[in-house]
């Protein structure tokens, strides 16, 4: 049985990676006090002791607002910590998978779906940190695979106190007939985390580099939700457009999946994934719920 080391195992993605692979790999998920990722020497000691075949680095400060308020702290974790992981993994010849973000594309003037080789200048601190981490990690370990992840969701809750995500918030608002609105100046992929898990093992064998890794989507968020409502048999007549969010700086985080597809990695579209998960939740409820009334929805922090 191969060995896998997972950082950030208490987080949304890390906890699911541990659960998904626990029967197939011998997994070590060090807690913060066991391996401080900003301590280069400690990271090296842990990896040399455990000798993992695969390292999956999920630990990060992903709250965009917190990164803006505490850039020095977030830089140490998101950039320096990632470099330490990549360097140590390279020294013990472990395959290193690092989690990046679609936020690297925020601020780009490109109108179509973004490709990995695009020249980038992220307009928020989190995106800047993720882009710098990608660049520096590839310098110290060219075999690293860096996955630009989109906003992820799951119909299930893994950990106590886990925050709501796109699908949970959407379904809760529908069930409680609470207000909903979504932005028209925002275009991005929104991905079922289970598809991320199902595709993750394929990344253990691909060449080092940066890969877009999530559901494609060429629709704005308002239209995405409207299409999902229609596919799930819900009346979307009360779903309203949020025309203020991102109005002054329209956001396009949609990602081209061609590079990943050429490696045998396939994601369903955002509309398809959200539709199927929404229908599953409705079926579990055993009833057909009415469409929610109009109002203000929520956006994620990523």
The structure tokens 């106190």 sit at 161
Q: Residue 224 corresponds to which tokens in the numbers above?
A: 């995405």
Dist. CA 216–CA 253, nearest whole Å: 10
pLDDT over 90 percentage in the chain: 82
Q: How confident is the model at residue 285 (pLDDT cuts 50, 70, 90)?
A: low
Q: Nearest 5°: CA angle at 183, between 13 and 252? A: 65
Q: Residue 32 corresponds to which tokens in the numbers above?
A: 């913060």
Please report the pLDDT score of residue 160 as a whole number.
73
The secondary element (H helix, E strand) that includes residue 225 is helix 221-231
pLDDT above 60 for 22: yes
Q: What phi and psi, each to the nearest 5 degrees, are found at residue 108? A: -75, 145
Dist. CA 44–CA 81, nearest whole Å: 12
The secondary element (H helix, E strand) that includes residue 95 is strand 95-101
Dist. CA 143–CA 174, nearest whole Å: 45
Query: Residues 262-281: pLDDT tens digits?
Result: 999 999 999 999 999 999 99
Q: What phi and psi, each to the nearest 5 degrees, are found at residue 30? A: -65, 135
Mean pLDDT of 79-83: 98
Q: Nearest 5°: CA angle at 71, between 69 and 74? A: 110
Q: How confident is the model at residue 106 (pLDDT cuts 50, 70, 90)?
A: very high
The secondary element (H helix, E strand) that includes residue 183 is strand 181-183
3-state secondary structure of 127: helix
Dist. CA 178–CA 237, nearest whole Å: 14
3-state SS, one letter per residue, for 276-295? HHHHHHHHHHCCCCCCCCEC
Please report the pLDDT score of residue 175 as a whole number.
85
Please report the pLDDT score of residue 194 as a whole number.
98
Query: Residues 212-266: pLDDT tens digits?
Result: 999 999 999 999 999 999 999 998 877 999 999 999 989 999 999 999 999 999 9
Q: How confident is the model at residue 293 (pLDDT cuts 50, 70, 90)?
A: very low
Task: Kindly calculate the radius of gyration of the chain based on its CA atoms and give it in whole angstroms.
Answer: 19
Dist. CA 39–CA 139, nearest whole Å: 19
- Mean residue pLDDT of the chain comes to 92
Please report the pLDDT score of residue 91 as a whole number.
98
Q: Residue 209 corresponds to which tokens in the numbers above?
A: 């580099």
3-state secondary structure of 118: coil
Q: Is 253 exposed, middle or buried (0-12, 13-18, 19+ CB in 10 A)?
A: buried
Q: What phi and psi, each to the nearest 5 degrees, are found at residue 246? A: 65, 15
Q: Nearest 5°: CA angle at 37, between 202 and 147? A: 25
Query: Residues 144-161: pLDDT tens digits?
Result: 999 999 999 999 988 777
Q: What phi and psi, each to the nearest 5 degrees, are found at residue 272? A: -65, -45
pLDDT above 90 for 9: yes
Class of domain 3-151+191-213: alpha beta
Please report the pLDDT score of residue 176 as a whole number.
83
């Amino acid at each position: 049985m191969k060995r896998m080391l997972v950082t950030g195992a208490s987080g949304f993605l890390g906890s699911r990676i541990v659960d998904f692979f626990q029967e197939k790999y011998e997994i070590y998920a060090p807690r913060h006090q066991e391996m401080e990722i900003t301590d280069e020497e400690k990271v090296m000691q842990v990896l040399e002791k455990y000798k993992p075949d695969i390292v999956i680095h999920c630990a990060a400060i992903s709250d965009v607002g917190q990164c803006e308020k505490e850039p020095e702290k977030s830089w140490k974790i998101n950039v320096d910590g990632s470099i330490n992981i990549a360097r140590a993994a390279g020294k013990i010849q472990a395959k290193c998978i690092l989690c990046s973000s679609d936020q690297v594309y925020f601020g780009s003037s490109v109108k179509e779906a973004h490709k990995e080789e695009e020249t980038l200048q992220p307009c928020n601190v989190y995106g800047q940190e993720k882009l710098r981490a990608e660049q520096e990690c590839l310098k110290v370990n060219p075999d690293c695979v860096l996955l630009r992840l989109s906003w992820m969701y799951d119909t299930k809750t893994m950990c106590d106190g886990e925050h709501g995500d796109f699908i949970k918030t959407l379904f809760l608002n529908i069930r409680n007939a609470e207000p909903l609105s979504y932005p028209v100046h925002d275009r991005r992929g929104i991905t079922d985390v289970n598809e991320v898990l199902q595709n993750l093992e394929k990344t253990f064998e691909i060449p080092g580099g940066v890969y877009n890794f999530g559901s494609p989507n060429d629709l704005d968020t308002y239209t995405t939700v409207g299409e999902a409502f229609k596919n799930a048999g819900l009346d979307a007549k009360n779903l309203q457009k949020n025309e203020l969010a991102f109005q002054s700086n329209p956001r396009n985080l949609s990602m081209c999946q061609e590079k990943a597809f050429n490696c045998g990695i396939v994601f369903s579209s955002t509309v398809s994934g959200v539709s199927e998960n929404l229908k599953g939740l409705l079926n579990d409820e055993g009833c057909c719920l009415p469409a929610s009334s109009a109002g203000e929805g929520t956006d994620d922090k990523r």
